[in-house]
Each structure stands twice: as structure tokens, then as C-alpha cells.
Structure 1
Amino acid sequence: MEQYLELVGLAKLTLWVAMSMTYVRFAACRVKPGMPRLLSLLPVVCLLPFLPFRFSSLHLRGISAFFLAWLALFKLLLLSVDAGPLSAPLPFLPFLASAALPVKLIDPLHHHKRNSPSISPLLPAAAKAALLSALIPFYRLKDVIHPYFLLSVYCIHMYLSLELVLAGAAGAAALLLPRGLAIEPQFDAPYRAASLQDFWGRRWNLMVSAILRPSIYLPVCARFGRAAGILATFLVSGLMHEVMFWYITLMPPTGEATAFFALHGACLVAEVAARQAGWWRPPAAVATPLTLGFVVATAFWLFYPPILRSRADEVVLAECAAAMGFLEDAGRAVIACVR
């Protein structure tokens, strides 16, 4: 029954978002950029952060918060000044997909002129889903396996889950797009990153990069320089992750996620400075393990503790088991109807 209620809530939220983004496009087409457009979009800007609380499920609440309370909210703020991935002249369905989902459309006029990341997934989506399912039993053994091994499982779980969720959203968005429009890739093999700049800027969760670049990095960089732009971008990313953790755990922020991203921002500034100074760079065979090792080690230290203290991993396991049971019951019901 609880899963059914969550699905009903998801349908209602989808309707709310569709109506809200329809209004956003209507207002953006008729109100000039700047304060007038921002005021016209303010009702939706204020609504979006509250919508994820319709869900009791950690997964649905966290995913909808990422889609709406972060990405969509930033897109609307950028749209108010006629910047970012949204554009008022976009046709209705592409505008709706781009506004509500974590996707960025590729301009067909420049599609062949730009160097889009070449996505060659290590595993197809079905295999990634199977691998993700295979990780679930490790949570039941967390009292007997080594903590660092368990944290490694968390890292793989987060990567697979995020990539599958974003791929699913991209698939849903593709259904709304006319022929000729394409969607930019959301990951580009982050396990191949040979530097922090490569990892955060070109490979990991590129939709977030596409939002933070015009909203934070470029304005700060233009006024205070590149280093300040990098630090400001990572600081805002850390603060937004604190907000996402709040949606997921329903516990007050601890500042650890902000510290994680502030540390990476400072290290990235140092990395860029070393590169500009002509310091020796290790080959990719060495740089890639060092980069991934640093990301994972600092995640063990600062990123995961707030989630683990809230016992969110136990909730994840329970929800996965409940979802599997719901699907099995639904499958039996379908088979019974067919017979």
C-alpha cells in the first residue's frame, strides 16, 4: 500500500511540475529578463523546494530534490536573466523536458561543431542495474566486513545509482524531444579521470557542472579571477550537497559535505597553478589511480559520515527490498490477469 501511495504521489508531483513549467514558459515568453521576469517566476521558484517533501521514500525524496530543488531551481534563476540552458523560444515539449529533468539540450546548429564528451559506458545499463542489485547483499554483512570495503561499496553504489537515474531521466526527456534535438551526456567515464579538473569538470555529473558554470563560476571568474571562480563553485556545490543531505536524511547539516567540496576546490586551484607553472605531470596510468584514490579517500573522510550516521544505508536497503517485493507482487498480478 505504501508503494502504491508513493506512485500516486509521483503522478501528482509530475502533474504539478508540468503545470508549473508550462507557466514558466508562458511567463518567460512575455516578460523581459531581469527583475520583472524573476518576480514572475517567483511562485514556481518558491514551490519547487517543497515538492520533494511529498514523498516518505528516501529515494524519491532525494531524487526529486536533486531534480527540482537544485537543478530546476538554478535553471529558473538563470532563465530570469536570460542565461543558462533554458530558453523561452524553445518549443513547449523540449522546454518542459529541459526545465523539469536533469538534461541539457544540444543546439542542432552547433551539434557537429562542438566536442561533446564521447560516452562509451563500461557496462550497458542493464548490466549496471544488475551490478547495483548485486551490491545490496553487502549491506546485510556490514557488521562483519571491513569498514573500508563497505565504504567502497557505497562509492560504487552511488555512482551506479546516479548514472542509472540520470540515464532514466534522459530517456524520459528523449520521448518529449522532436527529431534533431539531442541530449548532452551526463557522465563521461569518471573512472578514467586523470586529474581533479578532469574528474569534476569533464566527467562526473556533467549536468551539475553545466548549471554551476554559468550561475557561479563565470560571474565570479569574470570579476575576481579563475581561482576565486573555482573556489566559489565548489563552495556552492558543497552547500547544495548539504541541502540534498537534509532532504535525504531529514537531519540538520553538519558542514562535512561543504568541507569535502571546499577541500577539492582548493586542491583543484593548486592543481591548475602547478600545471600553469609547468610542473611535471604523471602519466595517465599513474594519475588516474591517484585521482580516484584521492576522491574516494576524502569521500570516506568527509562525504559519507553524515549519511552513515543517519542510518540512511539501512533505509536504502529496506526500500530496495520493498521495491523488489512490490515488483514481484505486480508481476504475479499481471500473470494472473493474463491467465
Structure 2
Amino acid sequence: MAAEIRIFLQTLLLVSSSLSFCFSIRNSIPNGFLRFLLILPFFSLFLYIPLQFQTIHLQGSIGFFIGWLASFKLLLFAFGKGPLCSAAASSSLRRFLAIGSLPIEIPQDTNRSHPNPILPPTYFIKLLLLILTLVAIYFKNYLHPTLYLIVFCFVIYFLLEILIGGAAAFVKATLGVELLPYFDEPYLSVSLQDFWGKRWNLLTSRILRLAVYDPCRKLTVGIVGKKASAMVALTATFAVSGLMHELIYFYMGRLAPTWEVTCFFLLHGVSLSAEMAMKSAVRGRLKVPRIISTGFTWWFVMTTSSWLFFPQFFRLKPDVRMMEEHAALGAFVKNVTVQLITPFKFSF
């Protein structure tokens, strides 16, 4: 655990130094290939950093925050796009560092004060639910496999909510700005389009749109036409998302990819394209009750997840490793506490 903390501090220094250099050249080096060459070492560094960690908690979170999001932000920055090229990011080094290293995005209207609380009231409810779901996985032998799968889905969701909500709260408190939302109650989704486009992992969706969807559509629109190019770009975007999830899984397990999670995202990309084509064909003439559309959406997401997303994930033994790391963290905290208290005990 002490080694993980040391590596984490080294990571903070490396990421901050890299982003500070990028901030220093934002006005002097024009967007394009030259800027891309200058930041290419940092892009490679960000992809490499998560390999230094040994605990699944840090492998997953650093892999997602730095290996995926931060490296994609740098890639977009090289060509004058994305969160790091916004007026909010360019206004100060603090904001640039926060946007570059954390899963956040500041809206263009940076002069707004934040009327909302630093932490929304639902944050603490979701923290409690995270604790309860983590407790539940300790009793997996008593749970039906389907129920255990549902519980683990909520573990991932609540864990992301807590991690990203905590990062957002830190930025709100230190910079005094509102942030664009990351999740929007995905369990209320009424369609795949609603789930992937408006409710789940919104920052990642915005970044993938800029990095993959828009370029692919521009390249193919003159070849296959407007509608077909949108479908091609959408499928390509989901394919890239699948490849990045394969990378996250590699960070967490050091196992060769089996491509199941890539197939999961390809399936959802094709299904979303078909859903959008169907909506366009009926043009609002068919109204499905919300309870049915929500139930079908979650049935499809859960069923395909159980086929393709979670088998590869569970081969990493996340539940066993999480329990071991919780125990190691508890022992580490206890040891540090004893070392701090012992000198005072002898002084009396």
C-alpha cells in the first residue's frame, strides 16, 4: 500500500508537469501536426502510467482518468479541439490542470457562480448505496448469479458516481465553477439513444464525438451519403470505446484481450443505429409507454452485459481483489495510526 501511495504521488507530479507544458504552448504553437509531435511523449506517458499500479482500484480509476480520458483530451488539444481548448481551460493553469487530469468539463459560461451545493443531496444516498452493494458482494455465495450480476452493475455505477462526484466537488470548491454533468440518472433511460447519448458517461460521449464520430462522418459523408455516414461514424465510435475498455481491462488484469467487450460495444453501436433508423421510419407515429421502453432498454443492456461485458471483467476476479485491498488498506491505516499514537503514549 505504501508503494501504491508513492507511485500515486509520482503520477501527480508527472501529469501536472506534462499538462503545465501543454498549457505553456497553447498560444505559441499552432494547432496541428507540430503541436501533436510536441505532446506525443505525454500522450504515450499517459497511456503507460496506469501500468505502474498494482491495486485494482487505482488500476481502474487511473486507467480511466489518465490512460483514457486525459490522453484523448491531449489528442484533441493537439488539433485545437476538446475541453483543453475551451475558454475555461485556457483562462488559468489551475483550470487547465483540473480539466486535463480529472473527468470533468467546465461550461463555456465560466462567470456563473455555482448556485447548486458542492455535493448534491443524492451523493450521500449513492454513497450509502455503494457501501450496501459492496457489502452484498461479500455474500456472493448466497446470491443468485443474476442478482449478483445486477448488484455488481450497481457497484460500478455507484463507484463511478462517487469518484467523479468527489472530483467535481473538489473542483467546485477550489475553482468556484459549475461543471457539465457526467451522469443523468441512466436507470431512467427509455431507449439506447437516451442511455448512451443523454444519460450514461456523458463526458466520454462528448470526447468520442469530437475524436471519432465527427472525423469519421466528415470522411465518409461524400462516399456513402449523409444518413449512412452517421451510421458508419456511430459504429466506429462504439468500436473505439470497446477498444479503450479492452485497454482498461488490460490495466486491471494484465491479461490478453478476448475481444468480448469490443463485441459488446459493436453490438450496441449497430443496435443503436437500427433503433435510430426505426425511429426515423415511423416518424413518431408509434408511441411506446415509458414503463415498457425503460424495461426493454434495461433488459437489453443487462442481457448483453451478461453475455459480453461481464464475463471478461469477472475473469479479473474484481470482487476477490477488492476485498483483499480493503483489508490491506485497513491494516495500513491501523499501522500508521499506531505509529502516530505510540510516541504520545510513552510521553505520558
CA contact (8 A) 1:45 1:76 kept: yes
Give the unaligned 5+ runs of structure 1.
Answer: 113-117
- 1:252 equivalent in structure 2: 256
Give the 3 Å change call, closer, same or farther, for CA 198–335 of structure 1 in structure 2.
farther
1-side partners of 2:7 and 2:251: how far apart?
17
- 1:202 equivalent in structure 2: 198
Shift of residue 136 of structure 1? 2.7
CA contact (8 A) 1:122 1:189 kept: no
CA contact (8 A) 1:75 1:211 kept: yes
- 2:320 equivalent in structure 1: 314
- 2:136 equivalent in structure 1: 138
Of residues 103-112 and 236-245 in structure 1, the stretch that sits farther from structure 2 once superposed is 103-112
Shift of residue 123 of structure 1? 6.6
- 2:123 equivalent in structure 1: 125
Give the 3 Å change call, closer, same or farther, for CA 133–328 of structure 1 in structure 2.
farther
- 2:296 equivalent in structure 1: 290
2-side partners of 1:265 and 1:29: how far apart?
38
CA contact (8 A) 1:102 1:166 kept: yes
1-side partners of 2:334 and 2:57: how far apart?
19
1-side partners of 2:101 and 2:143: how far apart?
40
2-side partners of 1:158 and 1:26: how far apart?
37
Instruction: Please state whether the residue corresponding to 2:109 is helix, strand or coil.
Output: coil
CA RMSD in angstroms, aligned pairs only = 2.5
The structure where helix makes up a greater share of residues is: 2
Q: 1:10 is aligned with what amino acid?
A: F
Aligned pairs, number:
329
CA offset digits 1:280-302 (Å, max 9, x no partner): 24121211111112111111111
Give 1 or 2 for the bigger CA radius of gyration.
2
CA contact (8 A) 1:136 1:317 kept: no
The answer as to 2:226 corresponding to 1:228 is no
Give the 3 Å change call, closer, same or farther, for CA 175–4 of structure 1 in structure 2.
farther
Instruction: Please state whether the residue corresponding to 1:30 is helix, strand or coil.
Output: coil
Shift of residue 333 of structure 1? 6.8
Shift of residue 111 of structure 1? 7.2
2-side partners of 1:137 and 1:215: how far apart?
39
- TM-score (norm. length: structure 2): 0.87
1-side partners of 2:107 and 2:343: how far apart?
43
Give the 3 Å change call, closer, same or farther, for CA 55–311 of structure 1 in structure 2.
same
From 263, 270, 275, the equivalent of 1:266 is 270
1:39-54 counterparts in 2 under 5 A?
Answer: 39-54=37-52
Q: 2:95 is aligned with what amino acid?
A: P
Give the 3 Å change call, closer, same or farther, for CA 26–329 of structure 1 in structure 2.
same
CA contact (8 A) 1:254 1:306 kept: yes
Q: 2:307 is aligned with what amino acid?
A: W
Report runs of 4+ in structure 1 exceeding 3 Å deviation: 109-112, 324-339
Give the unaligned 5+ runs of structure 2.
Answer: 221-228
